[in-house]
Amino acid sequence: MAPAARQFTIGQLARETHIPATTLRYYERIGLLLPDGRSQGNYRQYCQESLRRLEFIRAAQSTGFTLDDIRALLGAQHGKPPSCRDVQGLIKDRLAEIDQRLSGLKHMQKLLRSSLAKCEKTTRARCCHVIEALEAESSLKL
């Protein structure tokens, strides 16, 4: 006789995966995680496959995929795994977002370097000209 598969309550699953139970409940609400059943005390029960699914979700998130992307990757939207073409589309979308963020970060980096260079050239006792410039810029937008 094969040993019974280990079952987890939502609290045990949270401790095992280091994911808050509130996040697991959210994943359940949006269809990323489904309990395998209920205990006699009506507690949600999850199996080893739930652990693997959560590891997949975390790995996909760390790669830049959104929860909607992950739902598609898991086939939760249509009940079947996506095609390679579908996955390629998701990757292209994430890459476009990253390119946009990188562009914004490079712009911020350029501004900060310029501000630092100005500060290093002209130190004033009372007030920094960068602060004055930021205050002037912020008052223009009001």
Question: Contact, 80 vs 94, CB < 8 A?
Answer: no
Q: Which residues contact 56 (CB under 8 A, 6 or more apart)?
A: 70, 73, 74
The full length of the chain comes to 142
- The pTM of this model reads 0.72
Give the count of beta carbons closer than 10 Å to the beta carbon of residue 50. 23
Position 5 pLDDT exceeds 90: no
Question: Contact, 73 vs 60, CB < 8 A?
Answer: yes
Q: Domain 1-65 carries which CATH code?
A: 1.10.1660.10
Q: Which of 27, 30, 46 is nearest to 38 (CA)?
A: 46
Model pLDDT for residues 60-115, shown as the tens digit of each residue: 999 999 999 999 999 865 678 888 999 999 999 999 999 999 999 999 999 889 88
3-state secondary structure of 30: coil
pLDDT range class, residue 126, cuts 50, 70, 90: low
What one-character DSSP code corresponds to residue 60?
H
Question: Contact, 36 vs 45, CB < 8 A?
Answer: yes
Q: What is the pLDDT of residue 91?
A: 95
Model pLDDT for residues 10-62, shown as the tens digit of each residue: 999 999 999 999 999 999 999 999 898 888 888 889 999 999 999 999 999 99
Please give the structure tokens belonging to residue 57. Answer: 């979700």
What gap in Å lies between CA 20 and CA 27, rounded to an integer?
11
Q: What is the pLDDT of residue 125?
A: 63
Lowest mean per-residue pLDDT among 98-107, 113-122, 123-132: 123-132
Query: So where are the chain's domains?
Result: 1-65, 83-142
Q: Which residues contact 135 (CB under 8 A, 6 or more apart)?
A: none
What one-character DSSP code corresponds to residue 65?
-
pLDDT range class, residue 127, cuts 50, 70, 90: low
What one-character DSSP code corresponds to residue 82?
P
Q: What is the pLDDT of residue 96?
A: 96
